[in-house]
Amino acid sequence: KNLENAEKAAEQFKLIQAAYDVLSDPQERAWYDNHREALLKGGVDGDYQDDSLDLLRYFTVSCYSGYGDDEKGFFTVYRQVFEKIAKEEMEYMTQEDTEEFPMFGNSQSDYDT
């Protein structure tokens, strides 16, 4: 309680609530536990480097060339992205959570598949 400065108290409470939300979610907690040292040591001054996949670079057509199955083709590029995402997800799954991830497909895949 901070009756003299209710606005600052509310701001602090929001930070505590956000931390609680992260730590109470098993997946978020696992990510935090794996990146804790980097966050504590380098996150403040900008030296932190996240080794997870940077998805933003795949939100543009310049990340692929054509719609074929060659190395730079749409289907190959995005198939590799989805495989990396699935791999990252599987690293944090428990035995009970295991599930199959669908394949992205290729230029010859039918729509339903």
Query: Each residue of 60-93: pLDDT tens digit?
Result: 888 899 998 999 999 999 999 999 988 888 887 7
CB 82 within 8 A of CB 104: yes
Query: Each residue of 10-55: pLDDT tens digit?
Result: 888 888 888 888 888 888 888 888 777 776 665 544 555 566 777 8
